[in-house]
Chains A and B, each alone.
Chain A
Amino acid sequence: MLEIKNLHARIGDAEILKGVTLTIPNGEIHAIMGPNGAGKSTLSYVLSGREGYEVTEGEALFNGENILEMEPEDRAAAGLFLAFQYPVELPGVGNANFLRTSLNAIRRKRGEDELDAVAFLKLARAAVKQLAMKEDFLKRNVNVGFSGGEKKRNEMLQMAILKPHLAILDETDSGLDIDALKIVAEGVNTLRDETFSALVITHYQRLLDYIVPDMVHVLAGGKIVRSGPASLALELEASGYAGLEAA
């Protein structure tokens, strides 16, 4: 699904990623943990194509194609989804309209028929219900006046509707209470199958109680310094990152 090879990236003069190598096979969920400033968010932005990051070396193959060469919208059409750490507010843009425009843009690029308003609403209402969200969610402006938890749920709603092949969750758990955390986890777990992989970026072990990863990687100083099974997360929770940063 995703093969990151020796990825180096910088913002301005500061090198943030210093040779990240990571493979996520089909159907697996991997977690990336690490201290603040390790490059976790940079990795998610570089993979999703945000401007301002310069890739100086390496590649990221998504189903065999180097996505680093692609526009952000083409990465989305290829099946990549970034759940933002800080979802952006869009005043004047209705949530339902946004979701439908997004879904249809992706369907168009994939050569599939666009959904009309009725078919879309049916799909969206079902997704809203499954995520235990209020129906007026669809009528509100995108993320405007949403609480932190509502914004994260809205990311999960988008993910449920766009059905990506690879989801990157960038600290989606930050600022969430346990109930919201469970909903985010369920959003990921319901998509879990052979055609869906996820990269869960988190600072804390807590989310991984609900989304049990196949692998845990530790990112420190711009490199993966350790990889292991789900139990590694518990170990880090107990010992902290201090010993790893020097590695």
Chain B
Amino acid sequence: MNALPTRKLEAWRYTDLRPLSALSFGAPPVAVAVPDLPELPFPRFVFLNGTLNPTLSTGFAYAKPFAAPPTFGSQPMAAINAEHVGGGINIEIPVGQDAGEALLVSQADGVTPFAYHPRHRVTLGQGAKFTLIEIDEGAGTYWQNAVFEIEVAEGAVFQHFRLQRESMEAFNTIFIHADIAAGASYEHFTLTLGAKLSRTEIEANLLGQNALAHLNAAQLLGGTQHGDFTTIIRHKAPNCPSRQTVKSVLAGRARGVFQGKIEVDQIAQKTDGYQMSQALLLSPDAEMDIKPELQIFADDVKCSHGATIGALDEEQVFYLRSRGIPEADARQILIRAFLEEALEPVTHDASKALFEEVLESWWGRQ
């Protein structure tokens, strides 16, 4: 196996993979248990321990057979994925087609530690529309190391909403590469709740005028969880907007990481980039590392970035309590309000409702 990246690499400075390299992972076992599936009325792909389950999956008109993957240069996790890749979805939405939505569920049952390396491909033709809701979940110890390859052609809109609620012993690493053509949009939101250690890495290329990337995320972590959201947005054409709102809520001894790089090529005049990362520390032992990076070679651009790290405002807590709202509820209301800005761009009702529901149950756990 290709070596796991170490903290000597700048891009991996804040995420230490030694807990991952300390374990030895076998091949995925055959899944026996019949899982509970989310009740969303959409065509679905269900992967159990990394294998597509034909009984639990429904047909989807735009699904193609799994295709041999290309490789992604130097990204180390993608290289490991390419060595071991076993399967994945391959979706092609034809030109002008509004394909509605589909659900991608990846469930794992790690009675003994195992790893799986799915490779997914989503391609939208010109003017097409598609929403993919992805849910990663499971029990026990396992490692999911996924790669997503995304192409959004001129004027197409791809909404990609992810709920990562893996087992607390699991590892989840994902690398997403998105090529976005002129006038097209890639709207991404990840809600990270699970895994002992996770990293979502997105590389988005804005290749034509008015291409848009939304890379938003919220992570709610407790215990000794580690969650990393790392993005690179490459503005390679003029007049492209990019938006990033990343909110982290960290309890216990949890550690959050956000690394956001915006590269603006010389020809990418009138770039409009916005990046905001905010963390709420609910305990004195929680930690957040934020690294914004702007690399700008054009001279007429608007790029703003900001970062804040703080605790809940006790004045606000008291104000709510003085109006009869119990302290635990008051804190919950304020945390939910803190997340609002990241959730706001999730305009798809069923996805939004799913996220709301799992957030509700997160409060219950704390």
In the assembled complex, the Cα of A152 lies from the Cα of B318 at a distance in Å of: 17
Report the minimum CB–CB distance from B108 to chain A (whole Å).
Answer: 34
**A77 CB within 8 Å of chain B:** yes
Which positions 13-62 of chain A face chain B at CB distance < 8 Å?
48-51
Report the minimum CB–CB distance from A91 to chain B (whole Å).
Answer: 6
In the assembled complex, the Cα of A71 lies from the Cα of B317 at a distance in Å of: 12
Interface contact A50-B318, CB-CB below 8 Å? yes
Interface contact A76-B327, CB-CB below 8 Å? no
Task: Mark each residue of chain A from 54 to 93: 1 if its CB lies under 8 Å from any CB of chain B, else 0.
Answer: 0000000000000000011101110001101001101111
**A172 CB within 8 Å of chain B:** no
Q: B325 is contacted by which of A81, A84, A91, A101 (Cβ under 8 Å)?
A: A101
Interface contact B338-A71, CB-CB below 8 Å? no
Which positions 125-166 of chain A face chain B at CB distance < 8 Å?
158, 162
The verdict on A162 contacting B324 (CB below 8 Å), with A72-B318, A90-B334 known, is: yes
Which residue of B318, B319, B322, B337 has the most chain A CB atoms within 10 A of its CB atom? B322
Interface contact B337-A162, CB-CB below 8 Å? no
Closest to B326 in A: A73
The verdict on A162 contacting B323 (CB below 8 Å), with A92-B340, A93-B337 known, is: yes
Report the minimum CB–CB distance from B359 to chain A (whole Å).
Answer: 13
Report the minimum CB–CB distance from A224 to chain B (whole Å).
Answer: 24
Closest to B336 in A: A92
Q: A73 is contacted by which of B313, B324, B341 (Cβ under 8 Å)?
A: B324
In the complex, which residues of chain B have a beta carbon less than 8 angstroms from the beta carbon of A105?
Answer: 323-326, 329
Report the minimum CB–CB distance from B220 to chain A (whole Å).
Answer: 15
Interface contact B337-A91, CB-CB below 8 Å? yes
In the assembled complex, the Cα of A91 lies from the Cα of B336 at a distance in Å of: 10
In the assembled complex, the Cα of A105 lies from the Cα of B314 at a distance in Å of: 20
**A109 CB within 8 Å of chain B:** yes
**A205 CB within 8 Å of chain B:** no
In the assembled complex, the Cα of A162 lies from the Cα of B322 at a distance in Å of: 11
Q: Interface size class for chain B?
A: 20 to 34
Which positions 149-206 of chain A face chain B at CB distance < 8 Å?
158, 162
Q: A88 is contacted by which of B319, B326, B329, B336 (Cβ under 8 Å)?
A: B319
In the assembled complex, the Cα of A91 lies from the Cα of B334 at a distance in Å of: 9
Question: What is the number of residues of chain A that contact chain B, defined by CB distance less than 8 Å?
Answer: 28
Q: A48 is contacted by which of B322, B325, B336, B337 (Cβ under 8 Å)?
A: B322
Interface contact A51-B314, CB-CB below 8 Å? yes
Interface contact A106-B324, CB-CB below 8 Å? yes
In the complex, which residues of chain A have a beta carbon less than 8 angstroms from the beta carbon of B314?
Answer: 51
**A6 CB within 8 Å of chain B:** no
**A102 CB within 8 Å of chain B:** yes
Report the minimum CB–CB distance from A170 to chain B (whole Å).
Answer: 11
**B316 CB within 8 Å of chain A:** yes
The verdict on A82 contacting B322 (CB below 8 Å), with A90-B337, A93-B333 known, is: yes
Report the minimum CB–CB distance from B105 to chain A (whole Å).
Answer: 30
Which positions 327-366 of chain B face chain A at CB distance < 8 Å?
327, 329-330, 333-334, 336-341
Report the minimum CB–CB distance from A89 to chain B (whole Å).
Answer: 8
In the complex, which residues of chain B have a beta carbon less than 8 angstroms from the beta carbon of A87?
Answer: 319
Report the minimum CB–CB distance from B129 to chain A (whole Å).
Answer: 29
Which positions 174-213 of chain B face chain A at CB distance < 8 Å?
none
In the assembled complex, the Cα of A51 lies from the Cα of B321 at a distance in Å of: 11
In the complex, which residues of chain B have a beta carbon less than 8 angstroms from the beta carbon of A109?
Answer: 324
**B315 CB within 8 Å of chain A:** yes
In the complex, which residues of chain A have a beta carbon less than 8 angstroms from the beta carbon of B326?
Answer: 71, 73, 105
In the assembled complex, the Cα of A88 lies from the Cα of B320 at a distance in Å of: 9
Closest to A80 in B: B322
Report the minimum CB–CB distance from A88 to chain B (whole Å).
Answer: 4
In the complex, which residues of chain B have a beta carbon less than 8 angstroms from the beta carbon of A48?
Answer: 322
In the assembled complex, the Cα of A105 lies from the Cα of B320 at a distance in Å of: 11
In the complex, which residues of chain A have a beta carbon less than 8 angstroms from the beta carbon of B341?
Answer: 92
Which residue of B314, B320, B341 has the most chain A CB atoms within 10 A of its CB atom? B320
Task: Mark each residue of chain A from 93 to 112: 1 if its CB lies under 8 Å from any CB of chain B, else 0.
Answer: 10000100111011001000
The 8 residue pairs across chains A and B that have the minimum distance between CB atoms:
A92-B337, A76-B324, A106-B324, A102-B323, A92-B340, A88-B319, A72-B321, A105-B324
Please name 6 pairs of A and B residues whose Cβ atoms are closer than 8 Å in the assembled complex, sorted by A.
A50-B318, A71-B321, A88-B313, A92-B338, A102-B325, A103-B324
Q: A49-B322, A50-B322 are in contact. List 4 more A-B contacts (CB 8 A).
A: A73-B322, A76-B321, A84-B322, A90-B320
